[in-house]
Chains A and B, each alone.
Chain A
Amino acid sequence: MLNAISRSQIFVLDQDEALDFYVGKLGLEVASDQDLGFMRWLAVRVPGQPDREILLERPGPPAMDDATAAQVRELVSKGAMGGWLCLTTDDAHKTYEDLRAKGVDITDEPSDKPYGTDFGIRDPFGNAIRIGRMNA
Chain B
Amino acid sequence: MSRAVEETNRRMLRARDAMDRTFAQPLDVPALAAIAHVSPAHFIRTFRATFGETPHRYLQRRRVERAMTRLREGASSATGSVTDICMEVGFTSLGTFSRTFRDIVGESPTAYRARHRDAPVRPVPTCFTRAWTRPSSFG
Q: Mark A residues whose CB is within 8 Å of B.
A: 13, 70, 73-74, 76-79, 84, 86, 105, 107-109, 111, 113-115, 118, 120, 122, 124-126, 128, 130
Contact = CB atoms under 8 A, between A and B. Distances in A.
A128 B6 contact: no
A76 B51 CA distance: 13
A12 B125 CA distance: 23
Contact of B127 (A76, A78, A120, A126): A120
Interface of B: 2, 5-7, 9-10, 12-14, 16-17, 20-21, 50-51, 121, 123, 125-127
Nearest to A128: B127
Contacts of A124: 10
Contacts of B2: 70, 73-74
B17 A74 contact: no
Contacts of A108: 20-21, 126-127
A105 B10 CA distance: 11
A120 B6 CA distance: 21
Given A105-B17, A108-B20, A126 B10 contact: yes
A81 B90 CA distance: 29
Contacts of B21: 107-109
**Lowest 10 CB-CB distances: which A-B pairs, in order?**
A77-B9, A77-B6, A115-B123, A107-B17, A114-B123, A77-B10, A78-B9, A79-B13, A70-B2, A126-B13
B13 A122 contact: yes
Contact of B17 (A73, A114, A122): A122
A107 B19 CA distance: 10
Given A78-B50, A114-B121, A126 B9 contact: yes
Contacts of A77: 5-7, 9-10, 13
Nearest to A125: B10
A66 to B, nearest CB: 9
Contacts of B5: 74, 77
A107 B5 CA distance: 21
Given A74-B5, A74-B9, A78-B51, A105 B125 contact: no
Nearest to A78: B9
A17 to B, nearest CB: 12
B55 to A, nearest CB: 15
B127 A130 contact: yes
